[in-house]
Amino acid sequence: MRLRCEVEVLSQLLPSCGLQGRGRAARALVSLGRPPGGGGVYLMVCTARDRTGARYKVQQNVERLFTRFVEQGKATVRLREPAVDLRLSKANASDLKTFLSALRLAHQGTDAGVLPLSPLVPAKNSEVEKPKTKMIITSRRDYPLTKSFPYSLEHLQTSYCKLARVDTRVLCLKKLRKLDLSHNHIKQLPATLGDLVCLQELDLHDNHLESFSGALCCSSLQKSLQFLDLSQNRLRALPLEFCELRGLVNVKLDDNELVRLPCRVGQLSRLRFLSAARNKLPFLPSDFRRLSLENLDLFGNPFEQPNPLVPNIQLKIPLTLLECAARATINHRIPYGCHLLPSHLCEDLGVAKTCQCGSACLSSFIQITVTMNLHHVAHTVVLVDNMGGTDAPILCYFCSLHCYSQFLDRHLQSNG
C-alpha cells in the first residue's frame, strides 16, 4: 500500500532519506510492504532526493499512532526503533485512514497475506514530485472519469468537456483559488460550491445557467470571490443576495437575458470592472449611482427613453401603518432581524427605496426614470449604442408628492 504525502522526521536526522531535518517536511511516497526477498513488513519512505528510500520495521515497532487531525490529512507514527516520529501531512484523508488501519494491523502481526501490501521498490519521479497546483483540461476525451483530481490543485480549468453539472470531486478541492468551467452545458450550480473557501475566480462563461443561487451568495464566497464571469448564459435576473458578494472586483454578465440588475448593486464597493452588454436592461437601479468603477460596458441594451414627466405613481395616501413603521425603522436605523420580525418583512426592508431627500419608502412611492451620464460612476465607459452615447436611464424614487414637485420644478427650470 502506498500513500502520497509530506513527511517530517522528528527526533532524528535522516539525510539518506532526503529529509532536511527537524521542522522541515519533504514530499514523499510512503509504502507499506515486504522486501522482494521476503521477510517482515516494513515502512519505506521515498523522496525526490533518494527514491530508494529509508525502511522501518513495522511489527511490534509502532509505539503509538496520533490521529487527532486525520480528517485534515495529518497523522504521526511514533516508532520504537529507531526512536523517531514520522509526521505525515497533506495526505488525502480517506487514503490516510486506510493506510493507518493497515499499519496498525501490520504492527499487531496480522498475516501478511491479508494486508494490502505493496512491493518495496524505488519510487518514480512522478510519485515524489511537488504537488500539482494547476490542471487544464480542454476536451471531453482528456477529462478524468475514474481518477480523483489532485487535492493540491489551486487552478482547475475544465472547458469544452460537455459537462452538464459541476463534478462533485471538484467540490472537495479546498485549496482551489481559480475554477474555470467555461464552455460547458451546466444548467445549475450546487450550493456546496460555496464551501470552496479559497475560491477567488469563478469562470462560468458559455454555459446554460438560468439562475444563480442565492445560497452561494451567502456562503464563504462573500469574502473570497473577486472575479465572476457569467457571460453567455440564460440568466434573466440575479438574486438580491448577489450584492452580498462584497469582495467582487470584476463581474462579467454579457450576452444573457437580464431584464434588471440587483437593486442593491451599490453595496459592491470593491467592484471596479462591470460588463453587462447585450442584455435586455430597460434601465438601471437607483443604487447604481453609488458604484465607483474603472471600466463599464453596457452596450447593446434596449434602454428606454427617460421621461420624468410621466411618473409611475404607487403612492398611497394616507400611508398604511406598515409603510409608516417601515419608514421609521429605516430612517431612524432601528435594529431588526428575523428574530424580531417575520422573514418576509426583513426582505422587504432590505429592498426599500430611497427618496431624493434621503428618506426611505417601502411600497408607497413615485417612480420615474432620469438620464445619467455613465462617466459619473466609471472612468472608462464603452458606448451604450452605435450613436456614441454614454447616457443611460436610471430609476429615481420619491417618498411624497412634495419631493416629486420639488424635483419637477428643478427639472423644468434646467430645461426651460
Mean pLDDT calculated for residue range 132-161: 92
171 falls in which pLDDT band (50, 70, 90)? very high
Q: What are the tens digits of pLDDT across the range 180-196?
A: 999 999 999 999 999 99
Q: What are the tens digits of pLDDT across the range 231-259?
A: 999 999 999 999 999 999 999 999 999 99
Res. 36: pLDDT tops 90:
no
124 falls in which pLDDT band (50, 70, 90)? confident
Res. 15: pLDDT tops 70:
no
Q: Pick the most confident of 114-123, 175-184, 338-347.
A: 175-184
Domains defined for the chain, CATH in brackets: 2-127 (2.30.29.180), 134-280 (3.80.10.10), 312-374+391-415 (no CATH)
What is d(CA 242, CA 234) in angstroms, rounded to the nearest whole number? 17
Res. 127: pLDDT tops 60:
yes
Q: Look up the pTM and report it.
A: 0.72
pLDDT value of position 16: 44
Give the mean pLDDT of the chain. Answer: 90
Q: What are the tens digits of pLDDT across the range 350-395?
A: 899 999 999 999 999 999 999 999 999 999 999 888 888 899 999 9
What is d(CA 200, CA 223) in angstroms, rounded to the nearest whole number? 9
HEC sequence for the chain: CEEEEEEEEECCCCHHHCCCCCCCCEEEEEEEEECCCCCCCEEEEEECCCCCCEEEECCCCEEEEECCCHHHCCEEEEECCCCCEEEEECCCHHHHHHHHHHHHHHHCCCCHHHCCCEECCCCCHHHHCCCCCEEEECCHHHCCCCCCCCCCCCEEEECCCCCCCCCCCHHHCCCCCEEECCCCCCCCCCHHHHHCCCCCEEECCCCCCCCCCHHHHCCCHHHHCCEEECCCCCCCCCCHHHHHCCCCCEEECCCCCCCCCCCCHHHCCCCCEEECCCCCCCCECHHHHHCCEEEEECCCCCCCCCCCCCCEECCCCCCCHHHHHHHHHHHCCCCCCCCCCCHHHHHHHHCCEEECCCCEECCCCEEEEEEEEHHHCEEEEECCCCCCCCEEEEEEEECCHHHHHHHHHHHHHHCC
Lowest mean pLDDT among 23-27, 178-182, 246-250, 291-295: 23-27
18 falls in which pLDDT band (50, 70, 90)? very low
pLDDT value of position 414: 83
